[in-house]
Structure 1
Amino acid sequence: MTSPAPTLDLLLLDTELAARVAAGAPAPEDRWAEGFPREDDSDPASIIAKSAVSPGEFGVYALVPRSHGKVIGTAGFFGPPDAEGAVTIGYGMVEPEWGQGYGTEAVAGLIAVCRAHGGVTSINADTDLDNVGSQRVLQKNGFTRTHVTDAQEFYTLRLGS
């Protein structure tokens, strides 16, 4: 069985693009979907924009569907792997783009980054209790729910050596 052709590009935010996303101020060459950036896009972009050191592959990626070429959201890491090899991811996009498989494809892309890097033993993520779509994205990518609080569900994907 073959995987479907990618429909989404993940573009690593450099400090310049991150600064524009954080400020909500696109350059003339930027193509952003209506409603982008959301607060959940601006906050991590702000950290990258202010950093003197690029987070590299464990940074934040812009989500760009090939069908229209506009940035619809972000997906990325909360930092490099810790001493045990664990990373935490987050992702999101503007609401008109929900339900088209982009979240599932974005998370698959983050998993691929981890596998290519090596040394990552597990990937963690969490969702709000009522965010069933995000929970399905994680489940489709092989994550297992580890625990639930009164506000969130927590998931982990263990990577083989």
Structure 2
Amino acid sequence: MMEPMLANSHVLLTPITPDIARRIIDRTEQPGDDWHPDYPFVDELDPLAALAASELSETPFTMYAIRRPDDRAAVGGFGFFGPPDASGAVEFGYGLIPAARGCGLASAAVMLALHHAGQWGALRAKADTERTNAASRRVLE
């Protein structure tokens, strides 16, 4: 069964269900959602729409809201592109709103999510980024 939240001292990751994905897209925030006004960012809308159109699943290989631990605001997203493939590799993507960048949240989120994926059978991870995106390249390194 999927954990309700992944957490360490630097970041919180909360699973996004199809219902939550629909609320994010429609901007129908409910108490406890705590979405930053700039969340979601444009790159996240297509994956959120795909999740919103899917059935509820207990897989840990889903999308997560990246939240700051101090105010619990959702400031970004982390998502797996499915379970590990036949070689044990899991592919992922992530992003933060501009106001949340540069303070280690992306690195903390990636490390936390990949540790969790390893507990569910992932042996390797892969992701890509633009060559010109030096900050994202540092996260992946």
TM-score normalized with structure 1 length: 0.77
Deviations 1:25-76 (A, max 9, x none): 3234421112111122222121111112426200000011111211001001
Q: How many residues align?
A: 134
Is 2:131 aligned against 1:129? yes
SS in 2 for 1:44: helix
Which has the higher Rg, Structure 1 or Structure 2? 1
Equivalents in 2 of 1:40, 1:106: separation in Å? 17
Q: Report matched runs for 1:144-159 at 5 Å.
A: none
Q: 1:109 aligns with which of 84, 109, 112?
A: 112
* Aligned amino acid, residue 67 of structure 2: V
Question: Given residue 125 of structure 1, which amino acid in structure 2 is its aligned partner?
Answer: A
Greater relative contact order, per chain length (Cα 8 Å cut-off, separation 6+): 2
CA distance in 2, matches of 1:35, 1:103: 16
Return the letter of the residue paired with 2:95.
Answer: G
Among 28, 39, 43, which residue is 1:40 paired with? 43
The one-letter code of the counterpart of 1:47 is: A
Structure 2 distance, partners of 1:92, 1:53, is 23
Identity %: 33
Aligned equivalent of 1:145: none
For residues 76 and 30 of structure 2, the distance between their equivalents in structure 1, rounded to whole angstroms, comes to: 17
Match of 1:76 among 76, 79, 90: 79
RMSD: 1.5
Q: Which has the higher strand share?
A: 1
- Secondary structure at the aligned position of 2:33 is classed as coil
**Per-residue deviation, residues 114-160 of structure 1 (Å, max 9, x unmatched):** 21112x22100000111100000111xxxxxxxxxxxxxxxxxxxxx
* Structure 1: runs of 5+ lacking an equivalent: 140-161
SS of corresponding position for 2:79: strand
Name the aligned partner's letter for residue 80 of structure 1.
Answer: P
- Distance of 1:30 and 1:23 partners within structure 2: 13
For residue 69 of structure 2, what is the amino acid of its counterpart?
A: R
TM-superposition CA deviations, 1:76-99 (whole Å, max 9, x none): 101111122111110001001100
Gaps of 5+ in 2: 1-7
